């Protein structure tokens, strides 16, 4: 048990230190961009206290907005105080799925920047099945999810096929396909099939109630069954990678494609299967997001789920469990950021800075080791993509 605790602490130390440094640096950014603080530059004492209180208030709002809100608890009872936490989980749900889509690709040696586009296709297909058909509840949900999964798997699979057949680098192809998907959803929302009756702005009809994911904690919370889907997907990815022959091949190709090929593993097959599966996961994210919380397809349905997915997977070290935790963390930052933006003068976007800094520090353990003078900081093998010729 002690050994286990040591190990857990060892593995958590680098992320924890990166986390602290990211918050400290972002604190400086918040303080030094605040007009109130800057006006006090003449009197050092006041300057420091005001700066500290500005940053403190911002981070407090960030926490209240993402985990527990005592004000809400005061007015609506203890449990309602956890409303922010439920919102965090709602935001984290699609992030877990898109994060897995990036993490799985990393395990096969692929850098999937395309979760955004894959998410969009999943959302479009799920939305269509959701509003166009009227079916019995469970069946309808299943079909809508399946439609999202399949269409996004096809979209992701294209990348795999291009890479396997022509060697086109997946980083470039997925970046480009994100843009194409972005324009595609703009276009499709203008078509008569998708445009909601009587509306001119790009929005599709709400999905039928029969295709909506059930709520888990009553009508006061938006928490929906999507989180269960996401956790199941995370378990599935873990099982696939560590316990199956297909996952063994994925990891083998990821670690050394040439040796895998020499031992009779088809690299092309692995590439195509991985990208299709990654598409499926991100597409499931899109479907769950539409069927669980948004109900209506809009041009901005994907928000930044696909891009945050990359930082999520990197923070989670491309491991399924790590990805779940990282998605919860970034989900919390996003959710709390909204509260922070409305309650204090600190814009939500500082969250992006925090995310980027955390990942940056985690990627450079040498630097963290140097700053904190820790000799034997435990690090795992660095994640790496392959250069353009790889």
Considering the complex, what minimum distance in angstroms separates the CB of residue 10 from other proteins? 18
Q: Which string of x and - marks every residue 19-48 that binds other proteins (by CB under 8 A)? A: ----------x---xxx-------------
Considering the complex, what minimum distance in angstroms separates the CB of residue 254 from other proteins? 9
- Closer to other proteins by Cβ: residue 75 or 244: 244
Considering the complex, what minimum distance in angstroms separates the CB of residue 74 from other proteins? 30
- Closer to other proteins by Cβ: residue 218 or 300: 300
Q: Coil, strand or helix: which one is 195?
A: coil
- Is 7 a binding residue for other proteins by CB under 8 A? The answer is no
Query: Which element (helix H / strand E) includes 206?
Result: strand 203-206
- Is 310 a binding residue for other proteins by CB under 8 A? The answer is yes
Whether residue 298 contacts residue 196, with contact meaning beta carbons closer than 8 Å, is answered with: no
Residue selected from 264, 300, 375, 376 as contacting other proteins according to rule CB under 8 A: 264
d(CA 138, CA 7): 43
Q: Both tokens of residue 378?
A: 């435990």
Residue selected from 225, 228, 360, 377 as contacting other proteins according to rule CB under 8 A: 360
- Closer to other proteins by Cβ: residue 220 or 244: 244
- Is 248 a binding residue for other proteins by CB under 8 A? The answer is yes
Residue selected from 41, 349, 371, 372 as contacting other proteins according to rule CB under 8 A: 349
Locus of tokens 């022959």: 245
- Is 243 a binding residue for other proteins by CB under 8 A? The answer is yes
- 110, burial (CB in 10 Å: exposed 0-12, middle 13-18, buried 19+): buried
Considering the complex, what minimum distance in angstroms separates the CB of residue 38 from other proteins? 10
Q: Which residues contact 191 (CB under 8 A, 6 or more apart)?
A: none
In angstroms, what CA-CA distances link 327 with 68, 241, 332? 18, 19, 8
Residue selected from 58, 145, 252, 301 as contacting other proteins according to rule CB under 8 A: 252
**Region binding other proteins by CB under 8 A among candidate stretches 1-9, 75-83, 194-202, 305-313:** 305-313
- Closer to other proteins by Cβ: residue 177 or 288: 177
Considering the complex, what minimum distance in angstroms separates the CB of residue 292 from other proteins? 26
Segment 194 to 233, residues that bind other proteins, using CB under 8 A? none
- Is 376 a binding residue for other proteins by CB under 8 A? The answer is no
User: Which sign does the torsion angle of CA 311, 316, 320, 326 carry?
Assistant: negative
- Is 386 a binding residue for other proteins by CB under 8 A? The answer is yes
Q: Which residues contact 22 (CB under 8 A, 6 or more apart)?
A: 353, 354, 355, 357, 358, 361
d(CA 223, CA 141): 16
Considering the complex, what minimum distance in angstroms separates the CB of residue 380 from other proteins? 11
Segment 77 to 136, residues that bind other proteins, using CB under 8 A? 111, 113
- Closer to other proteins by Cβ: residue 141 or 278: 278
Q: Which residues contact 256 (CB under 8 A, 6 or more apart)?
A: none
Whether residue 100 contacts residue 231, with contact meaning beta carbons closer than 8 Å, is answered with: no
Segment 156 to 175, residues that bind other proteins, using CB under 8 A? 162, 166-169, 171-173, 175
Residue selected from 48, 244, 321, 372 as contacting other proteins according to rule CB under 8 A: 244
- Closer to other proteins by Cβ: residue 103 or 213: 103
Residue selected from 16, 347, 371, 372 as contacting other proteins according to rule CB under 8 A: 347
- 389, burial (CB in 10 Å: exposed 0-12, middle 13-18, buried 19+): exposed
Q: For residue 169, is it left (φ>0), alpha (ψ between -120 and 50) or beta? A: beta
- Closer to other proteins by Cβ: residue 210 or 266: 266
Q: Which residues contact 296 (CB under 8 A, 6 or more apart)?
A: 127, 196, 203, 204, 205, 206, 207, 290
- Is 338 a binding residue for other proteins by CB under 8 A? The answer is no
How many of the other CB atoms lie within 10 Å of CB of 238?
Answer: 17
- Closer to other proteins by Cβ: residue 136 or 191: 191
Residue 138: closest CA among 52, 227, 228, 213: 213
- Closer to other proteins by Cβ: residue 223 or 272: 272
């Amino acid at each position: 048990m002690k050994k286990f605790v040591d190990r857990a602490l060892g593995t958590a130390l680098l992320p924890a230190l990166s986390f602290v440094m990211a918050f400290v640096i972002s604190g400086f950014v918040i303080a030094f961009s605040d007009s109130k603080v800057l006006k006090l530059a003449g009197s050092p004492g006041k300057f420091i206290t005001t700066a500290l209180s500005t940053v403190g208030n911002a981070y407090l709002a960030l926490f209240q907005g993402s985990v527990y809100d005592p004000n809400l608890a005061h007015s609506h009872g203890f449990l309602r105080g956890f409303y922010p936490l439920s919102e965090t989980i709602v935001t984290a749900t699609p992030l877990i799925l898109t994060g897995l889509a990036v993490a799985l690709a990393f395990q096969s040696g692929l850098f999937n920047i395309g979760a955004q586009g894959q998410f969009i296709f999943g959302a479009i297909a799920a939305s269509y099945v959701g509003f166009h058909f009227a079916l019995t509840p469970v069946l309808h949900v299943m079909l809508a999810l399946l439609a999202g999964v399949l269409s996004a798997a096809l979209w992701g699979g294209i990348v795999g096929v291009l890479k396997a057949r022509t060697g086109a680098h997946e980083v470039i192809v997925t970046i480009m396909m994100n843009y194409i998907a972005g324009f595609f959803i703009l276009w499709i929302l203008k078509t008569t099939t998708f445009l909601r009756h009587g509306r001119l702005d790009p929005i599709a009809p709400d999905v039928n109630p029969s295709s909506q994911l059930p709520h888990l904690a009553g009508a006061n919370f938006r928490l929906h069954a999507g989180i269960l889907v996401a956790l199941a997907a995370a378990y599935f990815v873990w099982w696939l990678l560590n316990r199956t022959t297909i996952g063994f091949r994925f990891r083998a190709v990821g670690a050394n494609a040439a040796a895998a090929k020499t031992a009779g593993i088809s690299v092309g097959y692995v590439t195509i299967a991985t990208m299709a599966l990654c598409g499926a996961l991100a597409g499931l994210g899109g479907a769950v997001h539409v069927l669980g919380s948004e109900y209506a397809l809009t041009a901005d349905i994907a928000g930044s789920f696909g891009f945050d997915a990359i930082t999520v997977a990197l923070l989670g070290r491309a491991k399924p469990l790590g990805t779940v935790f990282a998605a919860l963390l970034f989900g919390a930052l996003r959710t709390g950021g909204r509260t922070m933006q409305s309650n204090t003068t600190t814009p939500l976007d500082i969250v992006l800075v925090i995310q980027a800094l955390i990942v940056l520090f985690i990627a450079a353990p040498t630097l963290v080791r140097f700053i904190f003078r820790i000799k034997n900081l435990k690090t795992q093998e660095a994640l790496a993509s392959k250069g353009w010729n790889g």
